[in-house]
Amino acid sequence: MTPDTHTLVHLCTSQEWLQLQHDGERRPPSLAESGFVHLSTPRQVHLPANRLFAGRTDMMVLWLDPDRFGAPVKWEPGVPTDPASMLFPHLYGPLPRAAVLAAEPYPPGPGGEFGTPRRGTVA
């Protein structure tokens, strides 16, 4: 997979999205624990969504402008069950509200699994 640095997304709950709007940035537990914020491309986001949030109905997908991050992004391997050689973007700093181009509900399908999101509304 060739990294697509122009279209990145981040998953969070609707409550976390409200908190990001209030705080002006998102600092998920992974930032303190691993030093980065998990991101994905739209074509790969269903992998962590299904692994971590299967069946949840309160998920949001945040569409991001990497030029507004203010911290470096590194493309690194995911977990061993991800397709071979797939790299995921990791933001090595907090996710600023200014980088969010759109925020949309990301509901699972009828079987409880997430698919590839399509951007449609503006934040």
* Tens digit of each residue's pLDDT (9 = 90 or more) over 8-50: 999 999 999 999 999 999 999 999 999 999 999 999 999 999 9
Per domain, the residue ranges of the chain are 14-95
Cβ proximity of 26 and 16 under 8 Å: yes
Whether pLDDT at 84 is above 80: no
Cβ proximity of 45 and 11 under 8 Å: yes
φ, ψ for residue 3, nearest 5 deg:
-60, 130
Write out the two tokens for 118.
């399509």
The CATH code belonging to domain 14-95 is: 3.20.170.20
Could you tell me which residues come within 8 angstroms of residue 97 by beta carbon, excluding any fewer than 6 positions away? 20, 21, 23, 24, 25, 26
The mean-pLDDT minimum among 65-69, 89-93, 116-120 falls in 116-120
Cβ proximity of 57 and 107 under 8 Å: yes
Write out the two tokens for 46.
């269903």
26 in helix, strand or coil? strand
Using a cut of 0.85, tell me whether the model's pTM lies above it: yes
pLDDT band at 109 (very low <50, low <70, confident <90, very high): very high
pLDDT band at 90 (very low <50, low <70, confident <90, very high): very high
Distance of CA 30 to the CA centre of its chain: 12
**pLDDT, average across residues 77-90:** 86
